[in-house]
């Protein structure tokens, strides 16, 4: 059953990571003819992947009202569903009214809602800026539309490319005006510019003033080079594997590498000094690496600050900028309690990754066990389940 943990009795809970499931024809309803005609690759057709056809059929059948028994089963066990849930059929994966109901069932007050990550790649890396920013506009309108049925609880995450700072500024303004609550960005350098380049300062100013955070999500940066997968031996997969994974075992331990570079630039180059109310969410990137990151940022500034006069202008230690302005979601199988003890109570946020299976079959229980292991205080629990999310989102 979808029972909250004992931690969440009489406590507000926010979910810092969830997704919609993108389906065939969805983004085409928002993208212009120009964008669709000039993509390097056409929008992916999920129905063209043989392994997904049974899932798609099951989902469409349920959404058409032809399998009420499955609907009730999914509602009774949102996260587990005893093998009957998939990304298409999951309750609220496609239907926004169901999504609000899923929050009620789980006891969640509000939820960040990200795209499914599939379609962004089709326009974000285009050499044609009209495609890039037309794609951003399409994705942002689509996400706002999904969340519009309950915009106070379903908080839409849009996409913003920094390819052209002037166009990015206009896209940010348009996205905020239409109702985007957070912007997902790449964590790599863009067009030879660091993320901390002064050309981006007007963008940070607009986001800070609007109280709209930056989010870096899995898929924000370049993956492990293919050369690291070339072992001369064919990779073996377990029987029954669909082989449609987007993250491999070799990706997981290094997901944060581009994120650390991005954070280093934003802190060392003074962006978080100049924009003290700009907030950053690190989502589905794990958290075990954070204690070392904070320590290394401080060591770098301390040791090299002797020579780099820019570092001497910082009014805080790098780790203090992190604790003031950065919030992160631990993975459910990490030791979130240990991380919290090493980074402080103000950084970590509860999350489910719903309806993606990576969020686990019992996210409430997983985090409860981890936090109980370090005897988290009521104040620390409040921070984890609600206060840190509210700080990120300016609620």
Confirm if 366 and 332 have CB atoms less than 8 A apart.
Answer: yes
3-class SS of residue 117:
coil
**Where are the domains positioned within the chain?**
13-20+37-43+109-226+247-393
Kindly state the DSSP code that residue 5 receives in the 8-state scheme.
Answer: P
Position 242 scores a pLDDT of 47
79-93, 157-171, 329-343: range with lowest mean pLDDT: 79-93
Whether pLDDT at 240 is above 90: no
* Contacts of residue 103, Cβ cutoff 8 Å, sequence gap at least 6: 15, 109, 110, 111, 153, 154
Q: Return d(Cα 24, Cα 45) in angstroms, integer.
A: 6
What's the average model confidence in pLDDT over 175-193? 96
pLDDT for 89: 87
Contacts of 369 (CB under 8 A, 6+ apart): none
By the 8 A CB rule, do 337 and 372 touch?
A: yes
CB 173, CB 139: distance < 8 Å: no
Q: What is the pTM of this model?
A: 0.94
pLDDT digits (tens, 9 = 90+) for 44-74: 787 778 888 888 889 889 999 999 999 999 9
The domain made up of 13-20+37-43+109-226+247-393 has a fold known as: TIM Barrel (3.20.20)
The pLDDT, as a whole number, for residue 247 is 67
Alpha-carbon distances, residue 377 vs 154, 326, 342 (angstroms): 29, 21, 15
């Amino acid at each position: 059953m979808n029972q909250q943990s004992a931690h969440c009795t009489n406590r507000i809970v926010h979910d810092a990571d969830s997704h919609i499931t993108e389906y065939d024809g969805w983004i085409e309803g928002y993208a212009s003819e120009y964008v669709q005609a000039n993509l390097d690759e056409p929008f992916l057709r999920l129905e063209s992947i043989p392994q997904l056809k049974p899932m798609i059929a099951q989902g469409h059948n349920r959404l058409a009202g032809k399998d009420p028994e499955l609907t009730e089963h999914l509602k009774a066990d949102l996260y587990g569903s005893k093998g009957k849930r998939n990304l298409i059929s999951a309750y609220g994966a496609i239907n926004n009214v169901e999504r609000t109901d899923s929050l009620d069932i789980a006891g969640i007050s509000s939820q960040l809602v990200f795209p499914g990550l599939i379609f962004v790649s089709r326009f974000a890396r285009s050499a044609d800026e009209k495609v890039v920013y037309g794609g951003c506009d399409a994705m942002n309108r689509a996400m706002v539309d999904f969340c519009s049925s309950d915009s106070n609880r379903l908080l839409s995450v849009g996409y913003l490319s920094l390819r052209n700072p002037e166009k990015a500024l206009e896209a940010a303004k348009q996205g905020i005006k239409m109702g985007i609550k957070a912007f997902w960005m790449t964590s790599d350098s863009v067009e030879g510019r660091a993320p901390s380049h002064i050309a981006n300062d007007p963008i940070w100013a607009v986001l800070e003033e609007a109280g709209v955070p930056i989010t870096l999500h899995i898929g924000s940066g370049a993956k492990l080079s293919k050369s690291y997968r070339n072992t001369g031996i064919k990779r073996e997969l377990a029987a029954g594997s669909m082989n449609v994974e987007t993250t491999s075992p070799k990706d997981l331990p290094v997901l944060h590498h581009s994120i650390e570079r991005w954070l280093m630039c934003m802190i060392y180059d003074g962006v978080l000094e100049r924009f003290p109310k700009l907030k950053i969410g690190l989502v589905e990137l794990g958290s075990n690496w954070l204690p070392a990151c904070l320590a290394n940022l401080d060591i770098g500034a301390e040791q090299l600050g002797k020579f780099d006069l820019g570092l001497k202008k910082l009014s805080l230690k790098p780790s203090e900028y992190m604790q003031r302005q950065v919030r992160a979601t631990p993975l459910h199988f990490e030791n979130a309690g240990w991380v919290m003890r090493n980074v402080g109570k103000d950084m970590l946020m509860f999350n489910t990754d719903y309806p993606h299976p990576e969020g686990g079959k019992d996210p409430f229980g997983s985090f409860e066990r981890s936090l109980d292991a370090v005897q988290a205080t009521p104040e620390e629990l409040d921070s984890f389940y609600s206060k840190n999310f509210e700080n990120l989102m300016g609620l």
